Amino acid sequence: MTFTSRLAIVALTSLLATGTAFAQTAAPAAKTDAKTTTAAAPAADKKASKERSAESLECSKQADAKALKGKERKKFRRECMKEAKAGTAAPAAADKK
């Protein structure tokens, strides 16, 4: 067997092996996509089913009105929720404006 015929056999074998490898990786990728869509669906259901209280919505509206974001928004909402649960939501809203 000559060198060129050996080289041709190696090239043909690698070409066939490469084609098979690509064909096999496409099928599991489709299964993975299906799993992530079904896994994402329950997470979306949990968010959709969780209702927010009236106090929470009111505190969010107040934070939006003040254009608060990040840590300031979290701090404001936390204090607002504490006051709302204590029953002093109406005076606190008037004081903070």
Stretches where the chain sits below pLDDT 70 are 19-49, 88-97
pLDDT at 13: 86
> Is residue 84 a contact partner of residue 59, using CB atoms and an 8 Å limit?
yes
pTM of the predicted model, to two decimals?
Answer: 0.39
CA 1 to chain centre: 59
pLDDT at 25: 53
Percent of the chain with pLDDT over 90: 27
pLDDT at 47: 58
Q: What is the C-alpha separation between 20 and 8, in angstroms, rounded?
A: 19
pLDDT at 92: 46
At 55, list the tokens. 């106090």
CA 60 to chain centre: 22
pLDDT at 45: 57
